[in-house]
Amino acid sequence: MNKFQSKNERETFACGESFAQKLTGGEVLALVGDLGAGKTKFLQGLAKGLGVKHKVNSPTFNILKTYQAKKDSQIKTFCHIDAYRLSSDKDLIALGVEEYFQDKNTVTAIEWAEKVRGILPKKVIMIEIEYLDKENRIIKIKKVYN
């Protein structure tokens, strides 16, 4: 497990950006942490690290949003999912997430992953962000085999 301390939102962004360099495609990232912990902030940095040009926001209204990653990279697509409003795993299946999970040229990240635990692939990278106080966070990253 890797553990990082973040003192402000820039450090969380930077943590995501540098973590992106470890990815090769096909990974599913399961993000867990309270409201306002910094899941989206981490993923904004990650997206930048993957070469995404558009700003990544919470896909609250569409649940799933895809972005084009760097053209000359193995990772072509960044798929951002926010499961907060989902009431059932099946809603996500209906959106075709399983195709993204299996795609070797896609990195998929799911905020509020604990809400859709039942449909996560066997192997995920769990990213847990713990809220300590207004600006301090602990970020834990570990591989998990369900």
Ligand X SMILES: Nc1ncnc2c1ncn2[C@@H]1O[C@H](COP(=O)(O)OP(=O)(O)OP(=O)(O)O)[C@@H](O)[C@H]1O
Name the residues that contact Mg ion, by CB under 5 A.
39-40, 58, 111
| DSSP classification of residue 136 | -
> Is residue 39 close enough to count as binding ligand X by CB under 6 A?
yes
Instruction: Provide the Cα torsion 123, 129, 130, 135; round to 10°.
Output: 170
d(CA 6, CA 52): 23
> Is residue 137 close enough to count as binding ligand X by CB under 6 A?
yes
> Is residue 33 close enough to count as binding ligand X by CB under 6 A?
yes
Window 51 to 80, contacts with ligand X (CB under 6 A): 58
> Is residue 37 close enough to count as binding ligand X by CB under 6 A?
yes
* Integer angstrom CA distances of residue 72 from 24, 69, 76, 131: 13, 9, 8, 36
Question: For residues 25 and 59, which CB has a smaller minimum distance to ligand X in the complex?
Answer: 59
| DSSP classification of residue 87 | S
**Residue 106 binds which one of Mg ion, ligand X, none, with CB within 5 to 8 A depending on kind?**
none
**Residue 26 binds which one of ligand X, Mg ion, none, with CB within 5 to 8 A depending on kind?**
none
> Which residues contact ligand X (rule: CB under 6 A)?
6, 8-9, 11-12, 33, 35-41, 58, 111, 135, 137
